[in-house]
Structure 1
Amino acid sequence: MQPIVFPHIPFDGSLASALFDLERVRVDFRTERLADPLTLELRRLFQGLTSIMSARIEGNRTTVADVIAETRRAQSTGEDAQDAVREILQLEEATRYIDRLVEEETLRISHKLVRDLHQLSVNGLEREGDPHPGSYRTTPVAISGARHIPPEPAAIQADMDQLIDFANQDVLSQQQLIQVALVHHRFVWIHPFANGNGRVSRLLTYAMLTNRGYTSPSDARPLNPTAVFGADRQAYYDNLAVADSLSEDGTLAWCHYMIRGLRDDLFSVTQLSDRLFIADEVFAPALNAAVAGGDVKESDANVLYEVARRGKCKPGDLRDVLPGSPSSRSHKLKKLLDANLLLKVRNPAGYGIGLWQNQLTIHVVRRLDELGMLPSVLKD
């Protein structure tokens, strides 16, 4: 494989400007923040949506409503979820795996990480699985719709060695996003697995962004490349193809596409760092829509909005919206917990809002779409 090298970047151009904008965000993410239950729950919702996006880029047409309904069915019956939904749930687990490694400060780009992400993503799947989860391919492959022919199996180990060495190089801060972009493209170019390469490439890119401080576990909206690639699926494939020649111009065009997309995605990240914006501009309209649609009772909506505005509540904080004895209040709160509309949180103990996989989820997603915070790949 041709060595991976950094392209020359004109510092008076738009790519350099996007890099500076993203560097400012990284500085903000490094500022210590208190973990707010509402922003953390919105982050969990976005990570779930990201898994749906990644599967959709590969042709899985499962909707948010499908995921919620099928997950509930599987949980209630004890059966496995249907194959298309299981693909999404496994991508969620792979993302959580990355986040755990980051939290433990043990994340390092390695053959093991790449193989683990593949194992988690494809194991047991029928339509989008791989007969050898976690193993590099031993047969030639072709990429559907692409002119590029990936390397022969005998070259994969050496090519991946080079990729991983490059991914772990200590480089100047202004080069780190370029490094991430180059690793993403070259991984897809190598196509080390028989199937699942696109999904693993996006997980690997998220891992590199997180490890370099471009997203924060205490922020509601993680900066995730899948949102960029999902904005225009065909543009993603077209820009990957432009770089397949490994030429300076093609490589620079790919870097410009990816980094400009990340910069444009910053607007959502910035707005959703404000809990009151989430409560008033995202959650309240979604809650009103849920009440109007008969999915949530108005009395329950009053409780949920109060919890959202406060971020976290103890039962005694809800006397005004839940009058009555402490025992009757606890009984009503338990019903909201059982419906996953409330969650128990710790440090200190209390209640927070649940947003993912309940009757509010679809309304929150629609509201995020109204605010222009979702890529087109989720619209149908």
Structure 2
Amino acid sequence: MSRLLNAQWTPERDITGVPRRHRQPCRYDAFVPDPLVGRHVLLPADVAADVSDAERAVQRLNASGIPYRGYEAIARLLLRAEAVASSRIEGLEIGGRRLARADAAREAGVVEDAGAAEVLGNIDAMRAAVDDVARRPRLDVEAICDIHRALLAGTRDASWAGTVRDRQNWIGGSSFNPCAADFVPPPPDDVGPLLEDLVGYLDSDVHPPVVQAAIAHAQFETIHPFADGNGRTGRALIHVVLTRRGLSPHHVPPVSLVLATRSRDYIAGLESFRADGHEGVAEWIATFAAATSEACARVAGLTDGLVALDHRWREALGSVRAGSTVAQLLDEILPRTPITTVAQLVRLTGRSTQAVNEAVDRLHRAGVLRQTTAGRRNRAFEVDGLVDLITGFERSLASPAADTAVHPPVRPVPHRAPGR
């Protein structure tokens, strides 16, 4: 059974610069959750239907072909919110155009925008860690530590990345002590056994994938096993579960971004998971399933924008010969490379430099590509409309109405470029 452990907080040493009232010993309640392995989950018929709807939505997203070929670029840029913490680096303030330009420069071996390069490094580290962990035949606690280690690599906290905490932490309230905290996770001595139980549950298939992702995420956030970076790691676990279970082999919908937009429901759901037995777990799973369905619907709505761009490009070009370099770029490459270089296109297409240059020249004359730079000297090309589409989509995900003109973003998102 879950339980509250009443404990006394005493400052480890005499702290200067802290109000006296915060330096006094005080008592607090730490929450120790039920283990997951062997837990029976009762889902009312309506929640079971919500879960089925969510899983079908994820399956449709991953089974779709051409309409989603541009989602790879969009999904990668959306991962900035999963992979970085705005308190550490300016990841949420770096727009899609700046990131895409830095990515193209990095492809050319040039790193001039250190801030954007750090964001890209965090995104790549998260993707690599999640993909690696999702492919492992068995999971252990070290797998979770590997994700955490990857997410904190290159930050000022890298020295303790992947290290399970050995002291009490807390959420909300005072930054000096846990006595007025909104939530106090389990004491350090309970963290190890709870993590072992969590990976045992992650290695099972007793529950449907969406249910497992919901429960694993909530349990991880309840354990809060690291000194910092728990939110990012907990969100990464959603990707691990849905990928590992085969529900989302290609595209994991931006579930956590929808949950972040609906933060009040998210927090209430976690509180229900921790406090209200079977009914509370069902309430949290319903919240998570609804966010999953909404995330898939938002991505599906993006199809119209991608299709409209494709039509605009082809109308500007006129007749395009099947099998040509231009056709390959339109069909396979441009929708996933917002800003690119000739060298990158040569590598991606496998065609000669001459053929790619001729195709790029035609696309440039038609307005499908606009010349820009990647770094100070490297000529690059921006794909017409794609960066703006990505930025608009990311901003819409932060609006409860899915439209920033109706309801402004409720969390930090990149600014829309002036005049666009």
**Structure 1 pair 379/48, CA: closer, same or farther in 2 (3 Å)?**
closer
Taking the aligned partners of 2:148 and 2:319, their CA distance within structure 1 comes to 42
Taking the aligned partners of 1:315 and 1:339, their CA distance within structure 2 comes to 12
TM-aligned CA deviation for residue 242 of structure 1: 3.5
Taking the aligned partners of 1:182 and 1:225, their CA distance within structure 2 comes to 14
Taking the aligned partners of 1:227 and 1:27, their CA distance within structure 2 comes to 19
TM-aligned CA deviation for residue 92 of structure 1: 3.6
Residue 118 of structure 2 corresponds to 86
**Structure 1 pair 135/148, CA: closer, same or farther in 2 (3 Å)?**
same
Asked if 2 retains the 8 angstrom alpha-carbon contact of 1:115 and 1:134, the reply is yes
TM-aligned CA deviation for residue 270 of structure 1: 4.0
Q: Match of 2:164, SS?
A: coil
Match of residue 188, structure 1, among 221, 227, 230: 221
Residue 168 of structure 2 corresponds to 140
Residue 8 of structure 2 corresponds to none
Q: Match of 1:151, SS?
A: coil
TM-aligned CA deviation for residue 192 of structure 1: 0.7
Paired residue type of 1:229: L
**Structure 1 pair 281/302, CA: closer, same or farther in 2 (3 Å)?**
closer
Q: Does 1:20 align with 2:48?
A: no
Q: Does 1:164 align with 2:199?
A: yes
Asked if 2 retains the 8 angstrom alpha-carbon contact of 1:50 and 1:226, the reply is no
Q: Match of 1:244, SS?
A: helix
Residue 64 of structure 1 corresponds to 95
Q: Match of 2:114, SS?
A: coil
Q: How does 1:203-352 map to 2 (within 5 A)?
A: 203-217=236-250, 222-245=252-275, 247-270=277-300, 277=304, 279-282=306-309, 302=316, 314-315=324-325, 337-338=340-341, 344-345=347-348
RMSD: 4.3
Q: What is the CA deviation profile of residues 293-314 of structure 1, one whole-angstrom value per residue up to 9, with x for unaligned ones? A: xxxxxxx9946x988xx9x963
Asked if 1 retains the 8 angstrom alpha-carbon contact of 2:325 and 2:351, the reply is no
TM-aligned CA deviation for residue 155 of structure 1: 1.7
TM-aligned CA deviation for residue 224 of structure 1: 3.4
Q: Does 1:124 align with 2:154?
A: yes
Q: Match of 2:217, SS?
A: helix
TM-aligned CA deviation for residue 251 of structure 1: 2.2
Residue 47 of structure 1 corresponds to 76
Q: Match of 1:149, SS?
A: coil
Q: What is the CA deviation profile of residues 78-123 of structure 1, one whole-angstrom value per residue up to 9, with x for unaligned ones? A: 46823x8725631342123323565xx4364432221111111012
Asked if 2 retains the 8 angstrom alpha-carbon contact of 1:209 and 1:215, the reply is yes
TM-aligned CA deviation for residue 52 of structure 1: 2.7
Q: What is the CA deviation profile of residues 277-332 of structure 1, one whole-angstrom value per residue up to 9, with x for unaligned ones? A: 454335567x7xxxxxxxxxxxx9946x988xx9x9633759xx9xxxxxxxxxxx
TM-aligned CA deviation for residue 232 of structure 1: 2.5
Residue 155 of structure 1 corresponds to 190
Paired residue type of 1:123: A
Taking the aligned partners of 2:113 and 2:155, their CA distance within structure 1 comes to 11
Asked if 2 retains the 8 angstrom alpha-carbon contact of 1:130 and 1:195, the reply is no
Residue 197 of structure 1 corresponds to 230
Taking the aligned partners of 1:261 and 1:3, their CA distance within structure 2 comes to 25
Higher percent of residues as strand: 2
Asked if 2 retains the 8 angstrom alpha-carbon contact of 1:57 and 1:230, the reply is no
**Structure 1 pair 262/317, CA: closer, same or farther in 2 (3 Å)?**
closer
**Structure 1 pair 147/101, CA: closer, same or farther in 2 (3 Å)?**
closer
TM-score by length of 2: 0.63
Residue 368 of structure 1 corresponds to 393
Paired residue type of 1:24: R
Paired residue type of 1:194: A
Taking the aligned partners of 2:130 and 2:319, their CA distance within structure 1 comes to 33
Taking the aligned partners of 1:97 and 1:314, their CA distance within structure 2 comes to 37
Paired residue type of 1:232: R
Asked if 1 retains the 8 angstrom alpha-carbon contact of 2:209 and 2:247, the reply is no
Asked if 1 retains the 8 angstrom alpha-carbon contact of 2:54 and 2:290, the reply is no
Q: Match of 1:223, SS?
A: coil
Q: What is the CA deviation profile of residues 136-173 of structure 1, one whole-angstrom value per residue up to 9, with x for unaligned ones? A: 1122211235522111222211110011111222315x
Taking the aligned partners of 2:230 and 2:85, their CA distance within structure 1 comes to 14
Question: 5+ unaligned residues in a row in structure 2: which ranges?
Answer: 1-31, 174-180, 331-338, 360-367, 375-380, 400-408, 416-420
Paired residue type of 1:169: S
Q: Match of 2:75, SS?
A: helix
Larger-gyration structure (1/2) = 2
TM-aligned CA deviation for residue 68 of structure 1: 4.5
TM-aligned CA deviation for residue 64 of structure 1: 1.9
Q: What is the CA deviation profile of residues 47-90 of structure 1, one whole-angstrom value per residue up to 9, with x for unaligned ones? A: 221323564687964232454466678887646823x8725631
Percentage identity across paired residues of the two chains:
17
Asked if 1 retains the 8 angstrom alpha-carbon contact of 2:273 and 2:281, the reply is yes
The size of the alignment, in residue pairs, is 327
Asked if 1 retains the 8 angstrom alpha-carbon contact of 2:133 and 2:240, the reply is no
Q: What is the CA deviation profile of residues 212-252 of structure 1, one whole-angstrom value per residue up to 9, with x for unaligned ones? A: 222232xxx53232232232234433432333336333322
